[in-house]
A and B are shown apart, each in its own frame.
Chain A
């Protein structure tokens, strides 16, 4: 069990980049971008084919990011210049990418198990730091010895990476360009009256978003040791789930808080799925159903809780009023009012 949870933490950190990308399109640009299902695989496919062909895995990953950026830009072009509805332009791009991804890979599955990847390189680098031994020593000192993951490298480095990307995003969204991007999603009429080319910002924003998604796809493929043409199915829902869970639990008062919440949401989502899959009668195939249920809960529960609170508040007020009435009016009522 602890090993399974550990695995889900690692995966969560990898998928956090994808969730940040979805946050950028879904929340900042207010654009439900289904391209994600395709561009995630594009990231994995580009990285895999380059790695298998002997490129440096870091260069392969950068190429994957660029490919994702282009895919996002194309969705933006369809929407802004082609005047195609937001959802539809994402769907069109998604199915177009399915074929493109197959072309990139040449077959539906590429294995990288025997290749040098970013993940193996990072793990080696981490071994040189000897931090694993220190942690292991610390754990056995406090009496936890049954639970020994192979390495802490991926978890630590990927969480750090996610937070570096988050910090970069926080900074970018505060620059002049970033403010214009946010305002484009917030009030298009307004920014256009302040010389912002909203078409450009939408294209650019979707590009950035899908660059992050492809980045995540490239890392996930290398982490799993293979790239598969079907690995992006339902990715947008996972991204939305991470964003929504994160915001519901950690809050989204401002951008800095919201981006942190999205990373938390991505990790939490993986943990919930892992736990759910351990339930006796559920199978791996039920994963998508579980995802859908999680998203529904994350959307509905906060509202139910709010309504309950509201009811309670009203009941309390009614009670206070009645009490005030029975004790005679005047100062009591005033006291109640000032309480409110």
Chain B
């Protein structure tokens, strides 16, 4: 489904601030794979996401989805089949527009936008039905502006908007990191449900090791722009937070320097 071949990306090349963000990464995901990505700050996780989504263009290497090379395809064209949820709850929704209008924008992603009404009765029923699956009561607040929702509600809505058109690839970029523990748990559960319901091929970046172990069927650990550890389905079931930390220490010969990662 998704193939990253020899992706290489360097920032500020030729200056004292030069930083190799991704150093020849290869990643192959089969349809339905749910890969969680962990790693400390600056490991290149988010850069990988940006390269897949088309926000950044790699200096070397290629991105293939469904056997098609999209390395040069623009971000907005790609996004008709790549769903994204961002870390910032503000980023995934349009705050001054209503819930149903936001859903309508997401709904139109797979088609050409025209002069038809964004929200008609048929769609409204469809949106209601989808919102009910979130169990947040949002189905009764279709006309409410999204800016009035709490961070958790927004993030759940973003998740729904990113997934209900069944994209080929779903990218989750620390989408629970800005939420309080109980809300984060809720969104994590929703993620689990939705991904398995549609069988989405998913790549999720997280700082929360527990979450990385709980979700998905594969796990990769990144450091300094490289994938330093990979666990497939079987290996992943055996993993614990303790083992992961030890693994990091063994490979890098140093302690994982991320407070958040260690604490959780």
Q: Which residues of A contact B (CB under 8 A)?
A: 172, 174-180, 182-183, 186-187, 189-198
CB contact between B116 and one of A175, A183, A196 (< 8 Å): that residue: A175
CB contact between A195 and one of B80, B102, B115, B161 (< 8 Å): that residue: B80
Nearest CB on B from A101, distance (A)? 33
Q: Return chain B residues, CB-CB under 8 Å to A196.
A: 76, 105, 113
Contact A191 B105 (CB under 8 A): yes
Q: Which residues of B contact A (CB under 8 A)?
A: 53, 74-80, 82-84, 86, 90-97, 101-102, 104-106, 108-110, 113-119, 161-162
Contact A190 B92 (CB under 8 A): yes
Contact A182 B94 (CB under 8 A): yes
CB within 8 Å for A195 and B109 given contacts A183-B94, A187-B91:
yes
Interface SS majority for chain A: helix
Contact A195 B95 (CB under 8 A): no
CB within 8 Å for A187 and B106 given contacts A195-B77, A196-B76:
no
CB contact between A197 and one of B76, B83, B95, B118 (< 8 Å): that residue: B76
CB contact between B115 and one of A176, A189, A191, A198 (< 8 Å): that residue: A176
Contact A176 B95 (CB under 8 A): no
CB within 8 Å for A190 and B109 given contacts A174-B117, A175-B117, A176-B118:
no
Contact B97 A183 (CB under 8 A): yes
Contact B84 A186 (CB under 8 A): no
Contact B79 A189 (CB under 8 A): no
Contact B105 A193 (CB under 8 A): no
Q: Return chain B residues, CB-CB under 8 Å to A182.
A: 94, 96-97, 101
Closest-by-CB residue of B relative to A200 is B76
Cα of A172 to Cα of B115 in the assembled complex, Å: 7
CB contact between B79 and one of A174, A176, A178, A193 (< 8 Å): that residue: A193
Contact A174 B118 (CB under 8 A): yes
Contact A194 B105 (CB under 8 A): yes
Cα of A196 to Cα of B96 in the assembled complex, Å: 18
A-B contact sample (8 more), CB < 8 A, given A180-B108, A193-B92: A172-B115, A176-B115, A186-B96, A190-B92, A194-B105, A195-B77, A195-B80, A196-B76
